[in-house]
Structure 1
Amino acid sequence: MQVQVPTLYVGTVRPMPDDGRPTGIFKLPVGGPVWIGAEGLEGDCQADRRVHGGPEKAVHQFPVEHYRRLRLRFPERAASLVAGAMGENLSTAGMDEASVCIGDVFVLGDAELQVSQPRSPCWKIDARHGTDGLAAYIETEGIAGWYFRVRRPGRVRPGDLLQRVERNADPVSLQAFWALRRVARPALDALLRVADTPGLAPDWRRRLQQRATWLRDNT
């Protein structure tokens, strides 16, 4: 699998228009080469480091196809639902949650990235677009995109190819991950399979293992 990354996006912290709370969701295109380090693209910032950014959420990718779905569902906000508007760093065509798996390793320019977890949409999506229910729809549909950790820092450029070079022997797609999250009492073996998937972010591994323990003790 390989796709072109036509544009790279970074953003500084700025006030949210409605209430002034700080946010890094507003991203702008990068004009040339940029360095990707352990915590993401040079010049990219996050306002609330408790839930955004860090090595396990260093780079966010969002499929451009999802914007078409969102424009159909929220036509009153169609003008703002364009590439970069979810706060992503990479917006690409030809990849989605069904075709991308936890632990997948990609090369982009000189950097090597590994899929660590899906994105969990938050209130800032609604606030950024002035629409209640947008984040909830994205979560319900499982179309929030995903995060990478950086396995090898390097320089990347707009137009570089994002090419998959490694996949787990027993891959778990992001779509399967979302489906499991929707089940109130998932099968224990299915839950443990996801929890044990190589490359999954430690926080999600811990949460899924705790859920498995609860299910085991209460079944």
Structure 2
Amino acid sequence: MQLISLNTATAQPLEVAGGKTVLSGIRKQAQTERLAVQALGLAGDEQADLSVHGGISKAVYAYPVEHYAFWQTLRGQAKAAGWNEALPHGAMGENLTLAGLLESQVWIGDVLKFPDCELMVSEPRFPCFKFNAVMGFNQAVKMMGQSGWCGFYLSVQTPGTLQAGEAFELIAGPREMSIPELFRVKFRA
């Protein structure tokens, strides 16, 4: 398993449905340097609405790179012919673009052990209206709900640093509730 990309953003204006503008830190950009990871997340990363993103239990958001082709195809189908803009890592709003670890393999309480820090799986991501805006079509939230390809939030167990390209291992937690199970229950509620 590998950390493909390490992504951060500052809160910026984002135009959403109806022409309204809101602040959002969803437009993450890949970082090449080693970044500090503290209790509230990555150095240089911001969340605009702490009632639904960020905080101790949702300090870092991880998303599997394996799902990027799915989203690229959906965006292409939703746009006019000729839409070929590639989705950069961080496009899902994730801090960590991961390879080799899917939601179906992750349980609440599992730990991702990196060389210099440990992050514990806390909950699935539940997409909001801002996801529709960055994906460029109004059914993105619905499609994430149907696919279950939501990624997952992590709390910082052991602060340290992270850098793109690092390998990590998954240390099993109590295995009582999986990411897909919790996502299905809460997304439909």
Provide structure 1 residue ranges, at least 5 long, that are not aligned to the other structure.
185-219
Give 1:182 shift.
6.6
Q: Based on CA coordinates, which of the two structures has the bigger radius of gyration?
A: 1
- Counterpart for residue 99 of structure 2: 93
Structure number with higher relative contact order (C-alpha < 8 Å, ≥ 6 residues apart)? 2
1:69 maps onto 2:75 in alignment: no
How do 1:11-160 residues align onto structure 2 when only pairs under 5 Å count? 11-17=9-15, 19-75=20-76, 76=79, 79-160=85-166
- Counterpart for residue 8 of structure 1: 6
Letter of the aligned partner of 1:111 in structure 2?
C
Distance 1:88 1:160 in 2: 16
Picking from 161, 166, 170, the partner of 1:164 is: 170
Partner deviation per Cα, 1:180-211 (whole Å, 9 max, x = no partner)? 44778xxxxxxxxxxxxxxxxxxxxxxxxxxx
TM-score (norm 1): 0.76
Distance 1:70 1:7 in 2: 17
Q: Whose strand proportion is higher, 1 or 2?
A: 2
TM-score (norm 2): 0.87
Relative to structure 1, the CA distance from residue 78 to residue 114 in structure 2 (aligned partners, 3 Å threshold; closer, same or farther) is farther
Structural RMSD (CA) = 1.9
Provide structure 2 residue ranges, at least 5 long, that are not aligned to the other structure.
none
Give 1:164 shift.
1.3
Matched residues, percent identical? Answer: 35
Distance 1:91 1:167 in 2: 21
Q: Is the 8 A contact 2:7 2:89 kept in 1?
A: no
